[in-house]
Amino acid sequence: MATKLTLSVDPQVVAAAKEYAAMRGRSVSELVEAYLAAITAAAAPAAAPPQLAA
């Protein structure tokens, strides 16, 4: 189930995002979700290599 998220965004940016999404047959919500998924996946820390005992 999706969670609602409230954002404050410049009206011109919202208008441009709606146009961009419409030209691609997607919603602004879908674009935001895909963007957030991409940046959080890229920012996930890689597993640290195991420490060797001395």
Question: What's the CA angle centered on 5, arms 18 and 10, to 5 degrees?
Answer: 45
Rounded distance between C-alpha atoms, residue 23 and residue 6, angstroms: 24
Residue 3 vs residue 46, higher pLDDT: 3
pLDDT at residue 54 tops 60: no
Structure token digits, residue 52: 């060797």
Q: What is the pLDDT of residue 17?
A: 96
Residue ranges per structural domain of the chain: 11-41
Query: For residue 49, what is the DSSP state?
Result: P
Write out pLDDT tens, residues 2-41. Answer: 899 999 999 999 999 999 999 999 999 999 999 999 888 8
First to last CA, the chain: 49
Q: What is the pLDDT of residue 29?
A: 96
Single pTM value for the model: 0.71
Q: What is the pLDDT of residue 28?
A: 97
